[in-house]
């Protein structure tokens, strides 16, 4: 089963960068096949064709990361807490798999080794701007996330994610409010400060329900570099 965003991916690929204030933003999208090192049981839960985010710096174009999203994501009925953007997702549900071909970073500037990481939904701390609970996807090494078909409890998810961050904190990519002005999926939402958000639609199925509902999601994949050279 293919996700709806695949139907519009070719149209998105015709544009090689986003435009902000008339300036080209150095991000673009390509399709990405699952790599050979993807475990078969995990790969079967994901769409076979993923998204490759490319970035250009000083004329050099390279892969920033690759993402394969779940065919369906475990959800729960009801609107939930209005202070959270994505409360119809189940905590610990598998959202997808992210791959860094070179050293990467999470949204908290934690360095991550090249490799494959599962992405699971969780509520991760508090948004410093709003004071509201913050949504995110927690990254864990694929080798440590062994029960791929099950939701992972938050305590266990935090534990295995620390193997990715190599700190006391889990590795997290922040989920931000969806920008409805972008009508195509997937879409790059970028600015001239170096932030890059990927907007996609997940296919969410609540427990016990035969219905699969599309859910627009925005993931902060790239944050700007600091003056000291860190991002």
Tens of pLDDT, residue by residue over 63-75, are 999 999 999 999 9
pLDDT of 227: 53
Lowest mean pLDDT among 19-28, 149-158, 196-205: 19-28
Residue 142 forms part of a structural domain:
yes
Q: How far apart are CA 122 and CA 133, in angstroms?
A: 10
Where residue 166 falls among pLDDT bands split at 50, 70, 90? very high
User: What is the number of structural domains in the chain?
Assistant: 1
Residues whose CB is less than 8 angstroms from the CB of residue 210 and which lie 6 or more positions away in sequence, other chains included = none
61 in a domain, yes or no? Answer: yes
Residue 36 belongs to a domain:
yes
Q: Is the pLDDT of residue 3 over 70?
A: no
Residue 228 included in any domain: no
Answer whether residue 229 is part of any domain: no
Q: Tell me: the pLDDT tens digits for 49-94?
A: 999 999 987 788 999 999 999 999 999 876 444 445 788 899 999 9
Model confidence, pTM: 0.84
- State how far the alpha carbon of 144 is from the alpha carbons of 94, 116, 122, 178, in Å: 14, 11, 17, 30
C-alpha 202/C-alpha 24 separation (Å) is: 28
Q: Does any domain span residue 81?
A: yes
Which domain covers residue 213, as residue numbers? 6-222
């Amino acid at each position: 089963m293919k996700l709806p965003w695949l139907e519009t991916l070719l149209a998105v690929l015709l544009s090689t960068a986003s435009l902000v204030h008339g300036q080209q933003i150095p991000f673009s999208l390509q399709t990405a096949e699952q790599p050979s090192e993807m475990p078969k049981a995990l790969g079967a839960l994901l769409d076979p064709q993923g998204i490759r985010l490319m970035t250009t710096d000083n004329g050099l174009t390279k892969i920033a990361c690759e993402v394969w999203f779940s065919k369906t994501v475990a959800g729960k009925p009801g609107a939930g807490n209005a202070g959270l953007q994505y409360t119809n997702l189940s905590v610990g549900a598998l959202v997808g798999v992210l791959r860094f071909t070179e050293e990467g970073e999470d949204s908290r500037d934690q360095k991550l080794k090249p490799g494959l990481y599962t992405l699971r939904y969780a509520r991760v701390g508090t948004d410093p701007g709003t004071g509201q609970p913050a949504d995110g996807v927690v990254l864990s090494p694929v080798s440590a996330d062994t029960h791929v078909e099950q939701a992972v409890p938050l305590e266990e998810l935090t534990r295995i994610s620390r193997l990715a961050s190599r700190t006391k904190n889990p590795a997290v990519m922040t989920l931000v409010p969806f920008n409805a002005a972008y009508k195509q999926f997937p879409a790059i939402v970028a600015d001239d400060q170096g932030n890059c958000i990927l907007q996609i639609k997940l296919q969410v199925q609540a427990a016990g329900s035969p219905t699969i509902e599309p859910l627009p999601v925005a993931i902060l994949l790239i944050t700007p570099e600091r003056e000291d050279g860190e991002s």
